[in-house]
Structure formats: structure tokens, C-alpha cells
Amino acid sequence: MASVILAGTAIFGCSPNTALPDDHAPLRIAVATNFQSTFENLSTLFEQQSKSITLSPSYGSSGLLYTQIINGAPFDVFLSADAQRAQNLHLWQQQKQVGHSRIYTYAYGQLVLWAPNEVHPDLAWLSQYKGNIAMANPALAPYGQAAKACMEKMQVISEQHQLIMGSSVAQAFHFIASGAASVGIIAKSQVLDFAVDPEHYWHLPQDCYPPIKQQLVALVSTDDERNAQIDIFLTFLSSQQAQQLIEKAGYLPGHTGA
């Protein structure tokens, strides 16, 4: 069995905008850290098209943002890195009977094997490799759960491997980029965002891990104008233009049904 090193939990985020909503206040969007660079591009495109609505994002781990929301942080939309927290928040709102929240899958994450010092690595190569492997902690991160599922299904992990687990897929990427780990299983969006040479990473087969559903929840407002603005943003996010941008960033496009 492979040995495991757990990295300390790190939280990346900023405080949400606490201003009360009005017709001209920006929509407050809670965004999972892994989607940050993609959301910045989407935000620019959205504000070019909807000049009367601006966006105010706060970035952090899905767990941190979820906790902030159920403790009263005034967000309008939550873009989670997984389905579980989004569905929990959706159910929480229904139980509070605050109105009909909306939930759907806005993107699907993809996994790659990244080995900076190897050319065209794949799972056959990984099974022969002896050394450390970075990945997100399966107990904390959906990308880690998917990476573990794939490695177990393909039977490529053994006692010759040492797993270095980050608290998030962002931390797993940092381990490889910094040289703390020689190889890792991370998000495709990360290698694209950092312009990693395609010769040094390999796409894991889609059928070797369960879908990484990134779901959003639109939070219910008592302000009809606010709800209308949220609807405009959701319509944009599910549009062909936005979904093409999401796909270009390394995700599989989502859809409007959860």
C-alpha cells in the first residue's frame, strides 16, 4: 500500500461584500478557487454584455464559502467545485422555505496526469514509476475523490508510491510546480491556465472516474429586481458563448439540468 503524506488544510478566500442589495449593487458571487481564472474571463464577458449589472466575486474553498453562506453571508450565487455542497445548500434553502432556489451543473472538471520531467506520461508509465504522487485529499476535495477512484480502478498505485495529499487541487498543483512532488493528478484547467507544455501531461480517461460535477446554486432574494438580475446572470452562464469559454478553460461544458 502506498504511504500517504497529508498537507495542512489551507484556506484561500476573501471576505464577501456585506453591502445591502439595491438596484445598482453588484451581484455577489461566491466562487470555488479552482474556477477563479475562468470566472474572471466570464465576468469580463458578462459585464460587456450586461452593462447595467456588475459582479463582485469572492473566492475560497467550497467548504469555506458554504459555511459562510449558511451563517448569513449575503451572496447571490454560489459556484461550488462539487455537487454535494451545492445540493446541501439547495436543500437548506428549501427547508427554510425562503423560496425556490435554482441549481444546475455549470461545468464538469477533468483530470490530467502531470509529470514535468517526463515526455508523454500515461497510466502505464505511472504504474512503473517509483516515487511520490501529488493529489488533492479525497476526504476534502472532489478532484481528489476522482483521482483516487481512477487510480484504484486502473490499479496503478502500489507500495512503491508515496502519496502527497493537498487540501485542494490547487495545493496539489503547487506541490508539483514547486518540485515538492515529481508527479501529480490535477485539474486540466490548471495546466491550461499555467501554459504547461502538453508533452508533459496526459488526459485521464473519462470512464476511469465519476463525473466531477461543479454545480451552482442561485440564492433566493426577497427583492424581485435582484432575482431578475440573478436570472440574467444564470442565463448568460448557460449560454453557448459562456459554455464555450468554460470548455476552452479545460472543463467539459455543463447544462441547465442538475
pTM of the model: 0.84
pLDDT band at 203 (very low <50, low <70, confident <90, very high): very high
pLDDT value of residue 59? 93
Sign, Cα dihedral of 194, 109, 65, 144: negative
* Helices 36-49 & 240-248 angle (0-180, nearest 10): 150
Tens of pLDDT along 140-179? 888 999 999 999 999 887 777 889 999 888 899 999 999 9
Residue 216: pLDDT band (50, 70, 90) is: very high
Percent share of the chain, pLDDT over 70: 88
Among 217, 226, 219, residue whose Cα is nearest residue 20: 226
What is the structure's pLDDT at 43? Answer: 97
pLDDT digits (tens, 9 = 90+) for 23-77: 578 999 999 988 999 999 999 999 999 888 999 999 988 888 999 999 999 999 9
Residue 238, pLDDT above cutoff 90? yes
Give the pLDDT score at 247: 96
CB atoms within 10 A of CB 80: 28
Say yes or no to pLDDT of 11 above 50.
no
Averaged pLDDT score across all residues of the chain: 87
pLDDT of residue 6: 58
Residue 8: predicted pLDDT: 52
Query: Using one digit for the tens of pLDDT, what is the confidence trace for 94-148?
Result: 887 666 678 999 999 999 999 999 999 998 899 889 889 999 999 888 899 999 9
Amino acid 101: pLDDT = 76
The full set of domains in the chain, from first to last, is 3-8+110-208 (3.40.190.10), 27-108+212-253 (3.40.190.10)
